């Protein structure tokens, strides 16, 4: 397996905690997006991008300055996976929609996207992160389904591990 970078934005610590847990399971390097890890986009074979969702489906604030770097990056031959947090009860119509913004930034950039997750078992109404009936990555809801976070992370890692370069 090639080198894997996890790039995340976190406000409350949930996304950072998940990034660190993923790092331990995948032997990956972790970068806070607020540190502008542009070099990681070129130096790693696999990129795992993580965000929380705020307001009306917005990316976590620190991503706002870095999303253009992702859009302009040459991701040909790289494998990309996405994970994100949302609150399905307080924001059921924009649940984990921040992941949708990351998906839009990378989907036409020459990379192979992996890690879609079935929406069954999640409590929400709508999400920009649902494509063809599945989340485009790992959706997590620490506020309402926190007891499922570890299991969901472990299952997702088992799913994507064989697809990473």
Task: Tell me the pLDDT tens digit for each residue of 36-91.
Answer: 999 999 999 999 999 999 988 999 999 998 999 999 998 999 999 999 999 999 99
CB count, 10 Å around CB of 157? 19
Torsion-angle region of 139 (φ positive above 0: left; ψ -120 to 50: alpha; else: beta): beta
Please return the burial class of 83, using the count of CB atoms within 10 Å of its CB with bins 0-12, 13-18 and 19+. Answer: buried
| Secondary element (H or E) of residue 142 | helix 142-145
pTM, to two decimals: 0.96
**Host domain of residue 109:** 4-161
Sign of CA dihedral 3, 36, 130, 123: positive
| pLDDT surpasses 70 at 141 | yes
* Cβ pair 50, 11 in contact under 8 A: no
Tokens of 84: 């994100």
> The domain that contains 118 carries what CATH number?
3.40.50.360
| pLDDT surpasses 80 at 133 | yes
Chain centre to alpha carbon of residue 66:
14
Instruction: Name, in order, each residue with C-beta under 8 angstroms of 68's C-beta and a sequence gap of 6 or more.
Output: none
SS3 81: strand
Query: What is the tally of structural domains in the chain?
Result: 1
Chain centre to alpha carbon of residue 107:
13
């Amino acid at each position: 397996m090639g080198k894997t970078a996890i790039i995340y934005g976190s406000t409350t610590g949930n996304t950072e905690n998940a990034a660190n847990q993923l790092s331990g399971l995948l032997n990956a390097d972790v970068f806070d997006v607020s540190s502008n890890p542009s070099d990681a986009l070129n130096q790693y074979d696999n990129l795992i991008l993580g965000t929380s969702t705020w307001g009306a489906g917005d990316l976590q604030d620190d991503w706002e300055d870095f999303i253009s770097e992702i859009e302009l990056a040459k991701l040909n031959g790289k494998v990309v996976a996405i994970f994100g947090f949302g609150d399905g009860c307080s924001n059921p119509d924009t649940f984990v929609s921040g992941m949708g913004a990351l998906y839009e930034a990378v989907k036409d950039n020459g990379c192979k996207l992996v890690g879609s997750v079935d929406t069954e078992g999640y409590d929400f109404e709508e999400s920009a992160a649902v494509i063809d009936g599945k989340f485009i990555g790992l959706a997590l809801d620490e506020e309402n389904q926190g007891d499922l976070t570890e299991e969901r992370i472990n299952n997702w890692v088992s799913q994507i591990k064989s697809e990473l370069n």
